[in-house]
Amino acid sequence: MKHAKKNKFRLFIAQKGLKSTRQRDIILDCFLSSSRHISIEELYLKLRSKNPNIGYATVYRTLKLFAESGIAREIQFGDGQTRYEHANEGEHHDHLVCTRCGTIIEFENQDIEQLQQEVAGAHGFQIENHKLELYGICAKCR
């Protein structure tokens, strides 16, 4: 799994004529071994603990590359922090976000997706992607 993503990124880098660098490897390893929804700040701090000389800008730039290559996806939960999640080929999921503790649960629901298609169709829209977030209180916090 992790290996597949490393390869995918390597390929992306090659196809784009970009260079393989020590920093990109480090950041990729760190990202892949992190929780599924990590903010740039969190990742940066985690990186710095082992690589005190890695730059802020490099982390930002590299995460954008991950997203472009398809191994990560940018998400925003409206708290002013951009997060990146691990993206898997052709897979899409939505989120339940606890407004108390911040826990994020992923889910997938084909019925909802189906209904979305119908709604879009009724308005002549062709869906490219969507965003569904349910905000509330998780079981633990209640």
Would you tell me which residues interact with DNA (CB under 7 A)?
Answer: 13, 17-24, 39-41, 53-58, 60-62, 64, 80-82
Q: Does 22 bind a copy of itself (CB under 8 A)?
A: no
Identify the residue among 15, 33, 53, 126 touching a copy of itself (CB under 8 A): 126
Structure tokens that stand for 137 in this block: 């209180």
Angle, alpha carbons 100-85-136 (nearest 5°):
20
H-only helix segments in 16-123 = 22-32, 40-50, 56-69, 110-122
Positions 80 through 99 that interact with a copy of itself (CB under 8 A): 96, 98-99
Nearer Cβ to DNA, position 58 or 116?
Answer: 58
User: What's the min distance (Å) between Cβ of 139 and a copy of itself?
Assistant: 3
Radius of gyration of the chain (CA): 17
The answer to whether residues 91 and 71 touch, using CB atoms and an 8 Å cutoff, is no
Q: Does 135 bind a copy of itself (CB under 8 A)?
A: yes
